[in-house]
Chain A
Amino acid sequence: MFAIVGTLPFNEMGLKTGKATFEGGSLKIEDFEVMPNLGTGAMVASACVTCNALNLEPPYFITAGDIGDGKRSKELYQYVAGNLAMLDVRVLAIHYIMPDIPGIRSILNSLGERRGGMTLIADAGGMYAAKAAGLAQKIDIFTPDAGEMAYLADPRATHPAYVEHLLFELDSSEVVTLIKKAYESGNTPKILLVKGPIDYIVEDGEVVETIDEPSISAMEAIGGTGDSLTGILSALIYGGHEMVDACAKAARINRIAGKLAQPDPATSILDIIARIPDALKEVGLCA
């Protein structure tokens, strides 16, 4: 099973679990239907589209409505920690959720012996929580941007808002410096996919591949392009791609989907998600 854990921005929505589908611009989970914008909605929609194009089972979505007060995020942590052992999860992606150190610790502790057969991907709040808890090395892949890379590189920061000024002021061309610093601090998992003008694939602290084509500068401004990347990546791993290979392919597919959407900084992420099937064809992953 490919499971995604993350919140949706609706105060009235309680805990929901089940297969997610994305059709006609709408993401559906149980009886709830939403048009995704940035965040977990965009991530799950991208994962659904990728799974569908590759003839994979759709993701199992574990979600709850949270508008930022963190109450349902706590419920989500508790539910996942209490129920993960009963699910046959092979790939688990943790996404937008209020970063909570005991919460992420409880999820990781609940995995026990089953952790070995599972690929763990953390982005957004899931990544912030794992790093803040000092548990980055328990995760397999983080997908930070340059600003978040500064957070990982700052051993004392417990949120990107508290990143040392010097690190935030580094130019994006100095991402490799941040990667080295983060790795030395023990605040990275085995694999990093650092997204930006150049995407860096990092294994054990070493940059093993960079991807910079096609180069679509407007994508930096479009909310959700990092989420679509994480959705594609997670689905590819669920489809059997090795982690480093999946990172490189996901980065290319996301860029190609962006290029095909011909975006400007006002483009919606939905326009890019709609192009993922064509991007998968362009890299030869489906007919």
Chain B
Amino acid sequence: MRILDRIKKRLGPGKKEAFDKGKGLIILNEVSEAMQAEKMLKGSGYGVRGVAPPHEIRKGCDLAVEFDLIDQLGVERLLKRSGLSPLNIVALDTLSQKPSDITKEKDFGRYFMVAAANMKITVDKENGTIVNISGGGCPDVPYLTVSLVGTRITEVESPGENGYSLCAYMLEKAYEKALNMVNTQQMRESA
């Protein structure tokens, strides 16, 4: 099957219409947890609301928290700090979709680059220093770049610790892969 036909088949109109574009759902264990999450996130300035989760993604609680997907990283961090562990976080537009977890690597000789969705991180193989970050469109990417570039990847705080957006979320994916590659290389060299 031609690639364009395969894409059309995968992305053709589904049975369900999308909910509000750009919204996600936090699914928690219990109603009380959902209420706690809603209150805490509202208190931190996030535009959230309690909603009934669609049947196909109900896993326990009958109350979920709707949020702007773009805020996913900051929302997840706050949930974690508050001791709340969601059963799932999904995009409402496409209930089966989760952020991409695919990374691609490119070898530049002394350097290697890892791409995750729209984000790329480039590392010096010789000393593990992050030499460049590129891509993205959310405001935390330039902010994170300032603290990451020029620092050894094994010594820096991960982007997920200080980022807020989905761009930072994908940068975290690229960072994790790059860190893993550096650690693997160091273990090989010390063996």
Identify the A interface with B (CB < 8 A).
7-9, 37-41, 66-73, 96-101, 123-128, 132-134, 145, 147-148, 151, 153-170, 174, 177, 180-181, 217-218, 220-226, 264-267
A156 CB contact (under 8 Å) in B6, B18, B142, B170: B18
B100 CB contact (under 8 Å) in A96, A124, A148, A168: A168
Which residues of B have CB within 8 Å of A9? 139-140, 142-143, 145-146
**Judging by beta carbons under 8 Å apart, are B122 and A265 in contact?**
yes
Once the chains are docked, how many angstroms separate the CA of A143 from the CA of B59? 41
B165 CB to nearest chain A CB (Å): 5
Which residues of B have CB within 8 Å of A132? 21-22
**Judging by beta carbons under 8 Å apart, are B138 and A158 in contact?**
no
Given A68-B140, A161-B169, verify A154-B111 contact (CB < 8 Å).
Answer: no
**Judging by beta carbons under 8 Å apart, are B165 and A168 in contact?**
no
A28 CB to nearest chain B CB (Å): 17
Contact with A along B100-130 (1 / 0, CB 8 A): 1010001010110101011010101000000
Residue of A nearest to B99 (CB): A161
Which residues of B have CB within 8 Å of A158? 21-22, 69, 91, 93
B114 CB to nearest chain A CB (Å): 10
**Judging by beta carbons under 8 Å apart, are A221 and B139 in contact?**
no
Residue of A nearest to B143 (CB): A9
Whether, in the assembled complex, B25 has its beta carbon less than 8 Å from a beta carbon of chain A, the answer is no
**Judging by beta carbons under 8 Å apart, are A168 and B102 in contact?**
yes
**Judging by beta carbons under 8 Å apart, are A266 and B141 in contact?**
no
Provide 28 A-B residue pairs closer than 8 Å at the C-beta atoms, listed in order of the A residue.
A9-B143, A9-B146, A38-B133, A38-B136, A39-B145, A68-B140, A68-B143, A68-B144, A68-B163, A70-B70, A100-B68, A125-B139, A134-B21, A147-B135, A148-B137, A156-B18, A158-B22, A162-B93, A162-B94, A162-B98, A170-B3, A223-B133, A223-B134, A223-B135, A223-B149, A264-B108, A266-B131, A266-B132
**Judging by beta carbons under 8 Å apart, are A222 and B7 in contact?**
no
Once the chains are docked, how many angstroms separate the CA of A226 from the CA of B108? 19
B135 CB contact (under 8 Å) in A69, A145, A218, A267: A145
Within 148-162 of B, Cβ neighbours of A (below 8 Å) are at 149
B164 CB contact (under 8 Å) in A69, A155, A217, A225: A69
Given A71-B45, A177-B7, verify A162-B138 contact (CB < 8 Å).
Answer: no
Given A159-B69, A163-B100, verify A39-B142 contact (CB < 8 Å).
Answer: yes
Whether, in the assembled complex, B41 has its beta carbon less than 8 Å from a beta carbon of chain A, the answer is no
* Highest count of chain B CB atoms <10 Å: which of A99, A132, A222: A99
B117 CB contact (under 8 Å) in A67, A133, A147, A264: A147
Whether, in the assembled complex, B53 has its beta carbon less than 8 Å from a beta carbon of chain A, the answer is no
Whether, in the assembled complex, B37 has its beta carbon less than 8 Å from a beta carbon of chain A, the answer is no
Once the chains are docked, how many angstroms separate the CA of A93 from the CA of B88? 37
A280 CB to nearest chain B CB (Å): 23
Contact with A along B1-37 (1 / 0, CB 8 A): 0011011101100000010011000000000000000
Residue of B nearest to A40 (CB): B142
Which residues of B have CB within 8 Å of A181? 4, 7-8, 11
* Highest count of chain B CB atoms <10 Å: which of A148, A161, A226, A266: A161
Which residues of A have CB within 8 Å of B139? 7, 9, 39, 66-68, 70, 72-73, 96-98, 125
